[in-house]
Structure formats: C-alpha cells, structure tokens
C-alpha cells in the first residue's frame, strides 16, 4: 500500500495532482460496484447540488450526477474498508508532507448517459476546508468511446496558459488533486459512470 500512497505524495508535491492505477484491486472494485448498484436500485441516490447550505441549488445544466453519501455506521464491510484505506492515506500524507488533513467525506456518484459536470473548483466560497479531492472509479471496461473523462486544467509555468489533462474513469483508478487550486470538469458520458468521490479536509465537519 505504501507504494501507492507514495505515488500520491510525489504527484501532489510535483504537479498538484496524481493518478494512481490499481488503487483498488479488481476484487475491491467488483464488491464496491455491487454495493453501489444495490444502493442505486433502492433509490438511495439523489441529484447533487452546487453550493453549500441555504445557497445550495440543483442545476442540471452545471452538473447531472446523482449521489449517495457514505456513512460508516450504515456502511457494508467493503465500504468501511474503502474509508479505512482513505484514512490510512490521510495519515500517510500527514506524516510525509504535513498536510494537516483531519477528516474525510465520501459519496458515491453516478453520471447517467448525457450528463456532465462543468468546469469548477471543489472549494466553497466561504469554506476552504477541502484540501484534496479524491475520486476513485468503479467502472467496468471504460474506453475513449465512452466519454466521461475528468479534465484537469493545469496552469503552465509563468502565466503561459494551461494544459487540459484528460483522464479516463477506469475502474480501480484514483485521481487526487488540490481542491482549491485545480479547476476541472467531467465531460459528457455515454454510459452510467460510477465513482466514489471525496475530500480530505482540514477541520472537523460541523
Ligand atoms: C466532483 C468532481 C470528478 C469526477 O464531484 O466535484 O469533480 O471525475 N468529480 O467524477
Ligand atoms: Mn469537482
């Protein structure tokens, strides 16, 4: 596990993002996808909102995903194991780069065919607690013809524009990036696109 965690550290320190293939192994992806689909079949997912608190709004023109927040108390063993692994990653990041992340939060997300999430930052206007965004994909056999790439907009050195880095949502792959700095978007998908998205946070969630 430490080798995978180390990839996260070097990526974040060198480039502000990391792509870790095989963060989850095939068996973990399979079990989590099964739990995901069970919860989806029970209609546990709701349309995601943008913004925070009273200002939050549902705007399908901006994002079209449906989400389900994972709570350890109601989680299946595979989901608890996933959260534990993320907590281990958080400890590792604190020990190796003093990131000061204390809490994490995760939701399942599904983007049905035709949906997307327009370019955005993951921090709220009045709340900078989110330090790192962490997205782990649960998809089976994903290719460029399926769409649904995450695009990271990477600033070039010295105000020289930006690079649009497209990354396919391949099962078991985890993408991490700095929540307050890297703008990103999800391109329209042609199939149900499944992920566990979350944030490592600076302070306790109130
Ligand atoms: C988000 C997000 C990216 C992805 O939920 O804020 O940007 O690849 N997700 O699902
Ligand atoms: Mn985002």
Residues with Cβ within 8 Å of 99's Cβ and at least 6 positions away in sequence, in order, are 93, 131, 132, 200
Rounded to 5°, angle at Cα 150 from 123 and 16: 55
CA of residue 106 to ligand 1 center, whole Å:
11
Residue bearing the CA closest to ligand 1, atom 6? 122
Strands 66-69 and 46-47, bridge-based pairing: antiparallel
3-state helix, strand and coil shares in percent for the chain, rounded to the nearest 5:
30, 35, 35
pLDDT digits (tens, 9 = 90+) for 99-143: 889 999 999 999 999 999 999 999 877 788 999 999 999 999 999
pLDDT digits (tens, 9 = 90+) for 137-178: 999 999 999 999 999 999 998 878 999 999 999 999 999 999
**3-state SS assignment for residue 40:** helix
User: Does the pLDDT at position 47 exceed 80?
Assistant: yes
Q: Thinking of the domain 2-201, which architecture would CATH place it in?
A: Sandwich (2.60)
Both tokens of 6, joined, read 């180390």
User: Does the pLDDT at position 204 exceed 70?
Assistant: no
Q: What is the pTM of this model?
A: 0.94
Mean pLDDT for 174-192 is 97
Name the residue of 51, 52, 111, 117 to mutate for ligand 1: max ligand atoms within 8 A of Cβ.
117
CA of residue 197 to ligand 1 center, whole Å:
6
Total residue length of the chain:
206
Band of the pLDDT at 205, cuts 50, 70, 90?
Answer: low
pLDDT digits (tens, 9 = 90+) for 51-100: 777 667 778 889 999 999 999 999 999 999 999 999 999 999 999 988 88
Position 55 scores a pLDDT of 66
User: Does the pLDDT at position 36 exceed 60?
Assistant: yes
Residue bearing the CA closest to ligand 1, atom 5? 197
- Nearest residue to 75 (alpha-carbon basis) of 43, 48, 106, 109: 106
């Amino acid at each position: 596990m430490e080798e995978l965690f180390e990839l996260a550290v070097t990526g974040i320190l060198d480039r502000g993002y990391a792509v870790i293939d095989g963060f989850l192994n095939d068996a973990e992806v399979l079990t989590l996808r099964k739990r995901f689909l069970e919860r989806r079949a029970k209609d546990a997912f709701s349309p995601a909102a943008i913004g925070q608190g009273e200002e939050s709004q549902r705007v399908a023109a901006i994002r079209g995903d449906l989400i389900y927040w994972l709570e350890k108390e109601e989680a299946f063993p595979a989901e608890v194991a996933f959260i534990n692994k993320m907590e281990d990653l958080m400890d590792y990041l604190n020990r190796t780069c003093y990131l000061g992340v204390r809490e994490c939060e995760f939701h399942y997300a599904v983007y049905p065919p035709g949906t997307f999430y327009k370019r955005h930052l993951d921090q709220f206007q009045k709340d900078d607690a989110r330090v790192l965004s962490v997205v782990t994909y649960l998809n089976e056999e994903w290719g460029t013809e399926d769409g649904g790439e995450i695009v990271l907009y990477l600033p070039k050195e010295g105000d020289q524009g930006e690079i649009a880095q497209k990354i396919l949502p391949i099962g078991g792959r985890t993408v991490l990036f700095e929540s307050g700095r890297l703008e990103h978007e999800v391109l329209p998908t042609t199939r149900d696109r499944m992920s566990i998205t979350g944030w490592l946070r600076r302070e306790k969630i109130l």
